[in-house]
Structure 1
């Protein structure tokens, strides 16, 4: 994963997520928002990987523990998609953990279950 981050990429991701939210609004499943983001990324030539397996390095062994990042955009930005009433500290801790496991330096937690998506965005960096 990248050791640097292009802030324009984060802006583009947020813009496309806002487009999805504007079209759909709150109240749908996470998988619906994620699928619509795939469409937007494809339509805008944004490279991404979906449901990326995250291995855990423990005592000189790599373990597959079943963790998956929802999306990793351009090998730089990890996206964790939510459709929950409230972002909990647990969700933010999950994002931080996924950042460490993935090697990405920047992560976005996107909660689509909000009236305005701007209130559902959390950006974190390692």
Structure 2
């Protein structure tokens, strides 16, 4: 049976997103939802960082380029928000790229522009284990 990654934390984050959607509905721009969600995280005591620049690397060498996820919650979950009619594969690809480029293993992709209800997806990344990692898990 598969376990849900960061179940309790992601439940709280999605709950905060639902509260923002309940208060604002759809039709605003992404920055409006981002500001509201930051406030809601504070109200609900969800630890977060907003728009943090994370440096990218290539084969172990740091690049001059950065990316900025909308939020990092609980120091382990990326939250990427959109305000579009529907999520598309390009948004899912962006989320997967965030996971591949970082130590994080879960992105919550949240779309506030969808009507009549909020749209969200959990995108998880399971890192391949080495044989020694697998053996150590049995000890």
Shared fold per TM-score greater than 0.5:
yes
SS in 1 for 2:70: strand
- Equivalent residue number for residue 61 of structure 1: 61
Aligned partners of 1:54 and 1:64 also within 8 Å: no
Aligned partners of 1:51 and 1:71 also within 8 Å: yes
- Equivalent residue number for residue 6 of structure 1: 6
**Greater relative contact order (Cα 8 A, min sep 6): structure 1 or 2?**
1
CA shift, 1:44, in A, is: 1.5
- Equivalent residue number for residue 105 of structure 1: 105
Q: Which segments of 5 or more consecutive residues in structure 2 lack a partner in the other structure?
A: 126-139
Q: Does 1:45 align with 2:45?
A: yes
- Equivalent residue number for residue 34 of structure 1: 34
SS in 1 for 2:33: helix
**TM-score, normalised via structure 2 length:** 0.81
User: What CA distance in whole angstroms lies between the structure 2 residues aligned with 1:94 and 1:15?
Assistant: 23
SS in 1 for 2:26: coil
Rg comparison, structure with higher value: 2
- Equivalent residue number for residue 72 of structure 1: 72
Instruction: Give the number of the structure whose residues are more often strand, by fraction.
Output: 1
Find runs of 4+ consecutive structure 1 residues off by over 2 angstroms. none
CA shift, 1:64, in A, is: 3.3
Q: Which segments of 5 or more consecutive residues in structure 1 lack a partner in the other structure?
A: none
Number of residue pairs matched by the alignment: 120
